[in-house]
Structure 1
Amino acid sequence: MNLFDFSLRLNGYPLDKAKKELVHIQQKNDIDYKIFLDDKLHAIVNYHLKNNPYYKSLAPKADSNQWSSIPVMTKKDLQQPLEERLSKGFTAKNVYVNKTSGSSGDPFVFAKDKFSHAMTWAVIQNRFGWYGLDFNTSRQARFYGIPLDKKGYYKERFKDSLSKRYRFSVFDLSDAAFKAHLLKFKTTKFDYINGYTSSIVQFAKFLERQSICLTSICPTLKACIVTSEMLFDKDKKLMEQQFGVPVINEYGASELDLIAFQNINNEWQLNSETLYIEILDENDNILPHEEEGRIVITSLYNKAHPFIRYDIGDIGVLSKRSTLKKPLLKTLIGRTNDIAVLPSGKKAAGLTFYYITKSIIEDDGNVKEFIIEQLEKHLFKVIYVSEETLSEEKKNTIAQEMERYLEQGLTITFEKQSTLKRSKSGKLKQFTSHVNLDS
């Protein structure tokens, strides 16, 4: 029995209808797709202007025939009771309700109507299918967080068993834990790995230390799909080497959909079936391809709750090879709240610091993991996990490289810890600034 599909249908999500709609969209040529997109954008804006008093108050001058008149929404706009944001005819009882992780600093509860949520799963299943993976039959090795309370723990374990998943907790990344993981891989015919990038990277490093390629003990493995945290080229190469399978980069948002998924041609293909994605400058103007800006997304199907020109809080670049029907994400630079403000007033993506440090700090294999915090405009702290304390030479090299790439006068401190603090979900925030952007 296809338990995953059955559970969606049982809960009122019209998956079959959504899959037919997805095929219908994908079969359109470029001209017909443009007509489809224009129609969907007009329809969703007009629907919410007519049926959603909250959106009408947010966009009093919006005109679906003039896209620039549509205001950009932010997460802070949505931090009010859900019932005040739902469209007419929808209640918390007849929609899909969830909450964002809060990794952006602005968590909120959101809703999707049931067809919109079914479309989300139709797209996800379609993308996994590119690699021969099936949600109903493929067995998943899941590297995610898990509730530590007894009730929550067993609830997740039960859900995992129904969904052909086995969960490896990301809260213990010790060699002892990884040795236990290996035993599970030896005795289970896993089809793919899925989970948070940073924890899966640590598992790959363990395999490298043990001189083990994972497919040698789990030959059924086909792919590894990483999500929620940045994937660096060096880490991707290491994982592909130690797992023996392709490593696929996924980018999504719970309140929207799957946003981008690496296709079989190694392109980061954006979801144009259920989303309309723009790259905007600081004045909300659409930027041309290859220029860096804010990622702003319109959900084409969600009638229960408006996500129209919604600033997701990320910064990215569209590839020059993008088309309207097949947009490609060239680069995902990071979150807008992960920006570092330097003493001179210059701003830099926080992951710049992480990337510079990463290229130096992991060369000798001593440091297992690290994060960076900005405490003041000139003051940065590198918090790391390792067997040995970093040498003064390495510390000086990191400080010099940061100043070379960014500006002079920065102070870099270092703090060795036994483990890094992860969020309740298990995500690792690689860079955090405690400095007010406007200060």
Structure 2
Amino acid sequence: MSLAEKIYNHSPIFIQNLLITAYGYRLKKARYTQRFHHYCSSLIESQHYSSDKLRELQEKRFQKVLSESLPHVPFYQSILKEKALSPSEINLNNYTSVFPVLTKEILRNNQHAFVNSQKQPHKTETINTSGTSGTPLSITTTTDTLQQNYAFFNRCLSWAGVKHGDRCATFAGRVFISPTQNKAPYWRYNHASNAMLCSSYHISSQTIPSYIRALEKFDPVYIDSYPSALYEIAKYINQTGLNHTIRPKCIITSSETLFDYQRAALEQAFHCKVYDHLGSAEMVTLISQCEHGQYHFNPEFGLFEILDEDDAPVATGTPGRLICTSLINPAMPLIRYELGDSVTLSPDSCECGRHFPVVASLVGRTDDMIIGCDGRRIGRLDPIFKKMSSEIKETQIIQNDLTNITLKIVADDNYDKKLTNNIIDELKIRIGDCIQYHVEYVDTIPKTRSGKFRAVVSLIDTAQ
């Protein structure tokens, strides 16, 4: 734990709010610059482009990534040398025959080989992600790329009828409240961003009433949440028939698969529409819902392919592996990157009028829920592994019963087993310390019949 974290954890709540607000102000100043607003304006304009004009814009962005990055990225340098090609000879029509499909394993084992050597370290930022497979990755990017990313999210908000800066309540994977805190408030305030940050790790049948009262008082314009966290509150409202005054314009969900029963419960409880979107820390694709409820690829963000197990394109309407190419991150360009998700492309257009590809169905994270010591149902535990050593290849959390959890770790030969204690400590923060944690070091972790990796597995038979 850093000194700053120790100071925060031992500070009174009003000081924690001040510290969070100060940090939020710093992020706001760095993220939402004049360039961010320029990107927002450009995206509002380009969403009305014709299919041909969008294709031209994709080609322009792709050529920019190729010319700025490929000569300075070792992994792609070797491919160009082997094929005796220059970046100028590659375009949207032939790139799939030039570059192989890039798997997470290849990226994880060669992360530095994908970094643009022309980008000076002091001008880049690193994003740590566990990925959908529980495999730690470090993504190199720039402030400019992050501002583009925020601008795309702002467009997602606009489709839902809200905007950056509107009063927002969030439920995510951050830990900003001590696990030993046993009474409200289970939330803090970032006044710089007009946001109420709600802990996803303290939600239980005993604490939900206090969350509801706080949300009523804060009166958010929208709620941005992991589906599993807000679903627990929605389920409580629906089952008890509780009358409340929480009336957001919309709910924004991401980071987990949004199940139909969750969407129905959220919309019933909060009397508004849910707008879901799928992104990735690797910044290779963005799929978001429009005003008419259709999922769309955002074509200015990245290219996509849907392939079968033999790397051949599938027919429209047939599910396949999602392969993506980023158009916004020249600091670490990922070309034909396999996210690990399965999607089905729709042949239909959308009533919204945008010429964006329509997604008929998508399968994102399907992690099971973990049951905490006090009966809380906890989802999205992968933030635990974001800052862990790259010596961890894969991890899997298995809840055997209400008192036992097994942690499986696939590590390389250099792994320091002392790091396991850090993982257990992080699990205790989120789940509780009344559970027995067992560690198994294994060579491989089996995948499901459909080839998907499950980072969390619950063997407890519980109803929704």
Aligned length: 358
CA contact (8 A) 1:130 1:263 kept: yes
Q: 1:153-302 to 2 correspondence within 5 Å?
A: 160-213=190-243, 216-219=244-247, 221-256=248-283, 259-302=286-329
Q: Which moved more, 1:265-274 or 1:138-147?
A: 138-147
Q: Cα offset for 1:314?
A: 0.8
In structure 1, the partner of 2:66 is 45
1:21 is aligned with what amino acid? S
In structure 2, the partner of 1:57 is 78
Q: 1:157 to 1:101 in 2, by over 3 A?
A: farther
Q: Which moved more, 1:321-330 or 1:237-246?
A: 321-330
CA deviations over 1:264-303 (Å, ceiling 9, x no partner): 1110112112111211112222222111111111111211
TM-score (norm 1): 0.70
Q: Distance in 1 between matches of 2:159 and 2:25?
A: 18
Q: Cα offset for 1:5?
A: 9.8
1:112 is aligned with what amino acid? T
Q: Distance in 1 between matches of 2:376 and 2:191?
A: 31
Q: Distance in 1 between matches of 2:218 and 2:447?
A: 49
CA contact (8 A) 2:70 2:77 kept: yes
CA contact (8 A) 1:143 1:199 kept: yes
Secondary structure in structure 2 of the residue aligned to 1:304: coil
1:145 matched to 2:207: no
1:17 matched to 2:45: no
Secondary structure in structure 2 of the residue aligned to 1:186: helix
CA deviations over 1:47-106 (Å, ceiling 9, x no partner): 432222233235643762422222111222222575543213213321232111344122
1:308 matched to 2:331: no
Q: Distance in 2 between matches of 1:276 and 1:296?
A: 8
Q: Distance in 2 between matches of 1:186 and 1:20?
A: 33
CA contact (8 A) 1:95 1:111 kept: yes
CA contact (8 A) 1:83 1:92 kept: no
CA contact (8 A) 1:370 1:420 kept: no
Identical positions, percent: 22
1:119 is aligned with what amino acid? Q
Within the candidate set 133, 138, 141, 1:104 is matched to: 133
CA contact (8 A) 2:345 2:359 kept: yes
1:130 matched to 2:151: no
Q: Distance in 2 between matches of 1:80 and 1:8?
A: 34
Q: Cα offset for 1:118?
A: 1.6
Q: 1:11 to 1:198 in 2, by over 3 A?
A: closer
Unaligned residue ranges in structure 1 (runs of 5+): 336-349, 355-366, 372-380, 384-413, 428-432
Secondary structure in structure 2 of the residue aligned to 1:88: coil
- Comparing both chains, which one has the higher relative contact order based on Cα–Cα distances under 8 Å and sequence gaps of 6 or more? 2
CA contact (8 A) 2:72 2:117 kept: yes
1:69 matched to 2:98: yes
Secondary structure in structure 2 of the residue aligned to 1:175: coil
TM-score (norm 2): 0.67
CA contact (8 A) 2:79 2:99 kept: no
Q: Cα offset for 1:38?
A: 2.8
Q: Distance in 2 between matches of 1:240 and 1:149?
A: 28
Q: Distance in 1 between matches of 2:73 and 2:321?
A: 26
Q: Cα offset for 1:251?
A: 1.1
Q: Distance in 2 between matches of 1:204 and 1:12?
A: 32
CA contact (8 A) 1:48 1:56 kept: no
Q: Distance in 2 between matches of 1:419 and 1:187?
A: 38
Q: Which moved more, 1:66-75 or 1:36-45?
A: 36-45
Q: Distance in 2 between matches of 1:143 and 1:436?
A: 29
Q: 1:91 to 1:382 in 2, by over 3 A?
A: closer
Q: Distance in 2 between matches of 1:127 and 1:75?
A: 27
Q: 1:8 to 1:325 in 2, by over 3 A?
A: farther
In structure 1, the partner of 2:360 is 330
Within the candidate set 112, 124, 146, 1:117 is matched to: 146
Q: Distance in 1 between matches of 2:24 and 2:124?
A: 19
CA contact (8 A) 1:46 1:64 kept: no
Q: Cα offset for 1:108?
A: 0.8
Q: 1:118 to 1:148 in 2, by over 3 A?
A: closer
Q: Distance in 2 between matches of 1:123 and 1:370?
A: 29
Q: Cα offset for 1:321?
A: 1.5
CA contact (8 A) 1:294 1:314 kept: yes
In structure 2, the partner of 1:435 is 446
Secondary structure in structure 1 of the residue aligned to 2:299: coil
1:267 is aligned with what amino acid? Q
In structure 1, the partner of 2:6 is none
Q: Cα offset for 1:315?
A: 1.0
| RMSD between aligned residues | 3.9
